[in-house]
Structure 1
Amino acid sequence: MKSFAEIDQENNGNYLKLLSASAKLSKLFSESQVPYIYYRAAENIFCRSFEAENLSRGDSAFDANYNSVGIGLKTFICNKQVSTEKVAEFNKLSKQLNGFKGKDLAHKLSEFRNERIDLANRLYDIENSLYHIVARKSNELLLFETDYHKIDIDNIGSVKESSSGLQFHDGKNGYSYNYSKSTLFRKFEIPEKVFRLPIDIISDPYTLLLELFEESKSVPKATNLFLKGENFVILPLYGIKEKQKFVFEKSGLNQWNANGRKRDFGEVYIPIPSIIHQLYPNFFPKRDQEFNLQIPTGEIFKAKVCQENSKALMTNPNKALSDWLLRKVFDLKEGELATIEKMEELGFDSVIISKDNSGNFKIDKAKLDSFDDFLNN
């Protein structure tokens, strides 16, 4: 496909204009002649300009979904032709990884990395993927695309160990792993052919901002904000026992495994903790009242809150939820239990439920520990 810089130019778009405008305000943050662009700003500018779905909130392997192309967005300083950048964190898996060394560790890291890419592919119906890079040099931005491959485990070689980390190569790209930060990095090479965007950094951006708002006479109001308990909540896919997370073996995602009558493998529900109803009693519709629930691919399920104390979020048919969440997202076979270990491998243990002003709901994955963050922040 064409580069995003070319697409933007051909469509007389705003991507290059917004990147340039943001970079020109660099002296709000730094005295350097290297333009500064906050990575979240770069993600938002990209998604706004190309009408891509922003996936960054969910801690996905991809930052954006552009017409079923998974996009990894990176912005970094490039003083050399190669830059080493973070591509994955494995904090929750550090104890498990500590049991491996050398090539075995490289293999295990690659398995975890590839699993998370596969998860994002399944979750968002991604067909292809690439990295879009905004590299920053003195008074200019370099824009280019490069591959976003899974790690080729069969071709891992050039393994080097040190006291602080591990390095390896898969025949296509070089990787390194930092022990203390439990973080995987990849080397990104700056190609000869890049799109160069000159940046004339404004010497006094503060005066410009004052003049801007003086001219407008009013400060624009923020819209489309995520408001805790008002238009979104986080639901955990686990329970807590003796301060440890666990997935219920006979309820919730594993309700199909409950005792008593013969059950179908499609019998599942997402638990709604009582504290959600206590704190935000008006977020969900009343018990057994049906509503639309859209999954990340755009498909819409019929859903409702049900069971005693409105403790369960289910779909109608119930199998729709299990086919999506258990079979497609978690990649579990019929009869295979959902576990906290599987969730930690994939990097999420909760879901975010959002709603619009019309009472339509959406569901997406939420990163590890996001339910605790939701309650405590």
Structure 2
Amino acid sequence: MWNELNDEKKEQYKRYILGFASLTECFKQKKDESQTTIPMVHSKYQEKAFQRAFDATCEDVGNTSYDASLIQQVSNDSEIRYLIGIKTFQYKLGESFQKIAQFKKNHGDWIDRLEQIRKSENLKERRDLQKSIAEDVSRLRNLRIDSSRENLKGFNFDPKDSIKEVYHILSPLFDEKEGPIIKVGEKNLEKIDIQKIEILEEEKQKVENFIFSDGKNVYKFTSADSQLWMKFKDIQEMTGIIDWSVQYVEDPFKVFETLGSKKDDQVIESHSWRIGKNGKIERYSGFNAFNAVSSKNPKQLEKKLLKLKEKYRGKIDDSFFDRLDRDVKMGNSEKERPKKEEERNRILENVEQIGNADFLRDVRKLICRDPNEMYIGIPKAKKFHKLYPDFFVPDLGNKIITGADKKNRKKQSFRIVFEPSKDIIEAYLTQDSGKAVESVARQTDLGEWILRKVFQLKEYEVLTHERLDELGINGIRVQKYKGSNSIHLHFIWIDDDHLPDDYWG
């Protein structure tokens, strides 16, 4: 990746890093007058410096394998999209484990097995249990990688372009001859080959912590907070790029005396919220709008059912049509929805067993909505539009037009830029109090990408908190940038114990 990046931006990034590292003497923990201080680079600063220097997008989702993404033009008609894990750790001869993911929300999935491992005195039994946990953790990590790839690809991905995953690494050290140095390297970021997982060893004092390999890389699972670590070898055995010499500032505190604070004026307005309503994911609306009852009225459904009977007369047993008839006549109230969903699922299971693909397709059209139907919900929309009337469309919040009247779509429409792919779609506000964001051309345009790709759901698979925990995504951030009327949308992770400053909920 490094060789493909713009030279001026690389120099800017180098200045950011060396500027921070030059202040290392400020952070000494003990009085030490020797000149063997190892340069300090704070990991969060490194991420921000990289993002700023290369115009990279922050991968602001929970415990993701990536910290940034960027799109690099390599020719007039092709580009490389990079997903980047940013690491900084002290240079050591040999190997070093570094945390690459955390699955705290999924800890309950294997807590019983961890307890069995603790109690078992049988090595083979422990190995089998450890391997099953390693496979589960690896599946979740691979799922997050797939989701992140699709998020970066967006919905207009050109087959000529490519996606690459890489670790970008800074490794500080003090060299006896060269003095303070930061080594720059990179390493491929790969999915775990689940079929080739082997347990290598376990900790003697805590057997539920163990090391495993997939033949390409070595990993460590630690039961506390369900963390996954990977072994990084000596940086010289990676793709070593360059050494940066660090010059320490003689009196770093004088630098701070001249510094003031200034807000980043690129983002002029930002709001984030949890996916779902009041902490719960709606089962029949929002991202699961496809799971609601058919949008056709009962009389329309009855007419279509009669046509279906006629089409398949003699081919399909009448008992199936009796069940379809009962489903069509069932009520659509909130209380009746779960019963209707259960009946609908039973009907589809029975139809699938018949093995007639055309009949299955026609039945789905009759009793189901489009599998890609969804919308992005705005919590407390009425209050949001009153407080921020100009966010989506100037002054729209003061005169929000409700409903999906096609005549009003243009007045309520705006451009959404999806980060990090930079794909753009025309969207508009609709439903009561402007509580929903839908794509203008087809309501299903968003679903084809978000449900299938970002959330990695199969058709008619309902989005749940469990899936969001697996992906490390549970929120949305919408932002406006200076000089632009577009709305930039990010899928993010929101920590309930540390809500972001722009939280709306």
TM-score range, shorter chain: 0.7 to 0.9
Pair 1:264–1:371, CA change in 2 (3 A): farther
| 1:120-159 equivalence runs, <5 A | 120-125=148-153, 127-138=163-174, 139-159=180-200
CA offsets per residue over residues 133-158 of structure 1, 9 Å max, x none?
10111221111111211111111113
How many residue pairs end up in the alignment?
361
Structure 1 residue aligned with 2:413: 290
* Matching residue's letter, 2:439: T
Given that 2:219 and 2:230 are in contact with CA atoms closer than 8 Å, whether structure 1 keeps it comes out as yes
**Match for 2:273 among 227, 231, 235?**
235
Pair 1:371–1:234, CA change in 2 (3 A): farther
Pair 1:369–1:3, CA change in 2 (3 A): same
* Matching residue's letter, 2:292: A
**Is 1:348 aligned with 2:392?**
no
Given that 2:61 and 2:472 are in contact with CA atoms closer than 8 Å, whether structure 1 keeps it comes out as no
SS of 1:207 mapped into structure 2: helix
SS of 2:65 mapped into structure 1: coil
Structure 1 residue aligned with 2:314: none
Q: Give 1 or 2 for the bigger CA radius of gyration.
A: 2
Given that 1:265 and 1:334 are in contact with CA atoms closer than 8 Å, whether structure 2 keeps it comes out as yes
CA-CA distance at 1:341 after TM superposition: 1.2
Pair 1:145–1:265, CA change in 2 (3 A): same
Counterparts of 2:250 and 2:2 in 1: how far apart (Å)?
35
CA-CA distance at 1:319 after TM superposition: 1.3
Counterparts of 2:224 and 2:375 in 1: how far apart (Å)?
38
SS of 2:47 mapped into structure 1: helix
CA-CA distance at 1:222 after TM superposition: 2.7
* Matching residue's letter, 2:276: Y
**Match for 2:60 among 57, 63, 66?**
57
Structure 2 residue aligned with 1:216: none
Structure 2 residue aligned with 1:367: 493
SS of 2:225 mapped into structure 1: coil
Structure 2 residue aligned with 1:272: 378
| 1:255-270 equivalence runs, <5 A | 255-262=289-296, 263-270=369-376
CA-CA distance at 1:98 after TM superposition: 1.9
**Match for 1:69 among 82, 106, 114?**
82
**Is 1:87 aligned with 2:100?**
yes
Q: Greater strand share, 1 or 2?
A: 1
Q: Greater helix share, 1 or 2?
A: 2
Counterparts of 1:300 and 1:185 in 2: how far apart (Å)?
36
SS of 1:246 mapped into structure 2: coil
CA-CA distance at 1:251 after TM superposition: 1.0
Given that 1:236 and 1:271 are in contact with CA atoms closer than 8 Å, whether structure 2 keeps it comes out as no
Pair 1:279–1:165, CA change in 2 (3 A): farther
Q: TM-score, normalised by structure 1?
A: 0.86
Structure 1 residue aligned with 2:255: 208
- Greater RCO between the two (CA within 8 Å, min separation 6)? 2
Over the aligned positions, Cα root-mean-square deviation in angstroms equals: 2.7
Structure 1 residue aligned with 2:50: 46
CA-CA distance at 1:284 after TM superposition: 3.6
Counterparts of 2:6 and 2:385 in 1: how far apart (Å)?
48
* Matching residue's letter, 1:237: I
Counterparts of 1:234 and 1:77 in 2: how far apart (Å)?
35
Counterparts of 2:250 and 2:21 in 1: how far apart (Å)?
12
| Structure 1 gap segments, 5+ residues each | 214-218
**Match for 1:34 among 13, 33, 38?**
38
CA-CA distance at 1:191 after TM superposition: 3.6
**Match for 2:209 among 165, 176, 190?**
165
Structure 2 residue aligned with 1:314: 438
Given that 2:149 and 2:163 are in contact with CA atoms closer than 8 Å, whether structure 1 keeps it comes out as yes
Given that 1:8 and 1:14 are in contact with CA atoms closer than 8 Å, whether structure 2 keeps it comes out as no
Given that 1:133 and 1:144 are in contact with CA atoms closer than 8 Å, whether structure 2 keeps it comes out as yes
* Matching residue's letter, 2:145: I
Counterparts of 2:65 and 2:444 in 1: how far apart (Å)?
27
SS of 1:118 mapped into structure 2: helix
| 1:178-257 equivalence runs, <5 A | 178-192=222-236, 194=240, 195-210=242-257, 212=258, 219=260, 221-224=262-265, 231-240=269-278, 245-257=279-291
CA offsets per residue over residues 111-143 of structure 1, 9 Å max, x none?
011111111111012711111110111221111
Counterparts of 2:286 and 2:231 in 1: how far apart (Å)?
41
Given that 1:102 and 1:159 are in contact with CA atoms closer than 8 Å, whether structure 2 keeps it comes out as no
CA offsets per residue over residues 44-75 of structure 1, 9 Å max, x none?
222333x2423243344322223202111101
CA offsets per residue over residues 150-190 of structure 1, 9 Å max, x none?
11111111343342512111111111111112211111111
Q: TM-score, normalised by structure 2?
A: 0.66
Structure 1 residue aligned with 2:354: none
Counterparts of 1:12 and 1:196 in 2: how far apart (Å)?
13
Structure 1 residue aligned with 2:221: 177
**Is 1:323 aligned with 2:448?**
yes
Counterparts of 1:279 and 1:142 in 2: how far apart (Å)?
52
* Matching residue's letter, 2:26: L
Structure 1 residue aligned with 2:321: none
Counterparts of 1:167 and 1:261 in 2: how far apart (Å)?
52
| Structure 2 gap segments, 5+ residues each | 30-35, 73-80, 114-128, 154-161, 175-179, 297-368, 402-411
How high is the sequence identity, in percent, across the aligned residues?
A: 26
* Matching residue's letter, 1:345: E
CA-CA distance at 1:293 after TM superposition: 0.8
**Match for 2:428 among 304, 317, 332?**
304
CA offsets per residue over residues 207-246 of structure 1, 9 Å max, x none?
2343x55xxxxx47332365xxx61111322234xxxx43
Given that 1:235 and 1:271 are in contact with CA atoms closer than 8 Å, whether structure 2 keeps it comes out as no
